[in-house]
Amino acid sequence: MSSTTEAVTLPQLFSLLVEATHQGILGRNVDPAWRQAFVDELLRRAEGTELQAVVSGFVKLIHECPEAQERAVRLVGERSLQNFVAPGLSLRPTPIAAISAGCTPRVAGMLRRAGLRRWAGPFDWMTLPPEAVRDALTDNLNALLSPRHLVPIRPEDRPAGREGHLARHLRYSEQYDDTVFHRVDPSTEDGYAALERAALRLRDSLRGLHAKMLLQVVEETTATPTLWGETGEALDRFARGATLVTVALVSGAPEGPFPEMELAESHGAHRLLRCRVLSAPQPLGFADLLDEVVILRGALATAQG
C-alpha cells in the first residue's frame, strides 16, 4: 500500500510563516496585501541565502517590531496589575466585592485586569453620565431596563473606526448626555436578556450583607461633588455594606513622575477622590499601567467595609 505526500512549495511555506508569526507574536491576522508583499520579499531573499537564515531573520524582524514590543509590554502589564493590587486586598479585615459604577468601560477593564471583576454588571460596558448612574440606582434600575428607552444605533450612525456604540438609552440621553451600550444591543432579545441578568446580579449584590465597593471614574466638573453625594445617598437608602468611591480625573499633568491622588470629600462610607494621571484614558483603561495601579489601590485603601 503506497501513499503520497503533496509537497509544500516555497511560496506556500513563506505564506504559512507570515501568518503564523503574525498570529503568534502580534496576536492578529495579517492583511492579505501585506502577506503577499512579505512572501515576495522572502522569495527574493531566498535566492541567495540559506532557507534557515531567511526564516529566522523574518521571525526576528516581527518579534522586534514596535507593535510586538508594545503588545508584550501590555500583556506583562495586565498580568502584573493583579500583583500590585493584591497587597491592598490582603490588608483588609474582610473581603470586598468590586463593582463598576461607570461612567465608561475603562472601569470594568481595570477591574478585570486586576482580578477584581467577578461578574458582569449593567454599567460595565456602557458610556453614561454620572447623572444616569445616580438615577438608575435611585429607581432600582427600573428605567435602565425599560425596553421603550432602548433604541438601536444604526451602523451608519456609529463613530467610524470605533467598536461598540450598538444602542442608546433614549431617556438618559435626552435628559443628560449620550448613554450608550457597547458590548451588547439591549434592544434585541439576547441583548436585553444579558442586560437583565447583569441588573439582577447588581440588585442581589447590593442587598447582600457582604462588603462591596462601587468604583466610578469621571472627568471632574463643578457638579462632581453634588452628584457623588446624591449617588451615595441613593445607595444608603437600600444597599447594605456599599461604599461608593468616585475618582474624579483632574485636568493637567501631575507635578512629579507619578500619578497624584487625594481625598477630596467623605460622607459615611463613601469617598470622593481627585486624581491627576500620567496618560490619556483609553477605551478599556489607561495607557500607563501606573495610573491604574494608583486608582485601584487608592480606591481599595479608602473603601470601608
38-70 confidence digits (pLDDT tens) = 999 999 999 989 998 999 999 888 888 878 776
The stretches of 154-214 forming alpha helices (DSSP H) are 170-175, 189-207
Closest CA to 295 of 88, 117, 96, 80: 88
Instruction: Write out 68-97 in H/E/C secondary structure.
Output: HHHHHHHHHHHHHHHHHHHHHHHCCCCCEE
Phi-psi region of 33 (alpha: psi -120 to 50; beta: other; left: phi over 0): alpha
Residues of the chain with pLDDT under 50: 1-5, 305
The Cβ of residue 2 has, within 10 Å, a number of other Cβ atoms equal to 3
Per-residue model confidence (pLDDT) at position 212: 94
Per-residue model confidence (pLDDT) at position 288: 85
Contact of 241 with 270, CB cutoff 8 Å:
no
Q: Which residue has the cell 512572501?
A: 39
Residue ranges covered by each domain of the chain:
10-64, 79-302
Per-residue model confidence (pLDDT) at position 92: 59
